[in-house]
Amino acid sequence: MSIIEPGDDRTMYQRMLDGDLYIADDPQIGESVAKTQDLQQAYNATTARQGPLRTLILDDLLGSVGADTEFRPPIYVDLGKNITVGARCFTNFNLTALDVAPITIGDDVLIGPNVQLLTPTHPVEPGPRRDKWEAAKPITIHDNVWLGGGVIVCPGVTIGENSVVGAGSVVTKDVPANVVVVGNPARVVREI
């Protein structure tokens, strides 16, 4: 069985953007990642007193960033351009946001240190996985969410408005609005 259907002449980069299986070891994807890593390294090398420079770099690195949003370095992303962030957000140290698929973050979101937003997926079947095929599913974080330190958000997850994800939780499925979730896998422990 072939992963690419006859007549499908899309590049791996286009397959990735379309949310289909692709091989990441592709020159076009590699060049995008290299450009992103250059910007990421420049951002991570800034000092606390270089706010205007940080803003300029973030504008190049990410898809969009709302007003009065702060990212404390270091941050780590795949492509950067697939990340949109609303206004008045705060992201603490060491965010990893693998944005092979879109990552959408609303307004007034708080992200603790060492949070991981992971959109990539890999086939369960050993053959395609060995052949380096992968895909991705988008992550959406609605307004006024708080992700505690060390939270991991898995591919395809949406977190509802005003919800809180407790430190160290692994979010494997959608979280409704106005709840507190904790654990691995994260589960609702109370309503807000």
Using CA of residue 49, residue 51, residue 52, residue 58, what is the dihedral sign? positive
Give 67: exposed, middle or buried? Use CB within 10 Å, 0-12, 13-18, 19+.
exposed
Q: In the 8-state DSSP scheme, what is residue 175?
A: B
Distance between CA atoms of 36 and 177, rounded to whole angstroms? Answer: 33
User: Which residues make beta-bridge pairs with 137?
Assistant: none
Q: In the 8-state DSSP scheme, what is residue 15?
A: H
Residue 102, amino acid = P
Distance between CA atoms of 123 and 112, rounded to whole angstroms? Answer: 30
Distance between CA atoms of 171 and 151, rounded to whole angstroms? Answer: 8
State the catalytic residues.
122
DSSP 118-161: E-EE--SSHHHHHTTEEEE--EEE-TT-EE-TT-EE-TT-EE-T
Unique residue bearing structure tokens 């939780």: 169
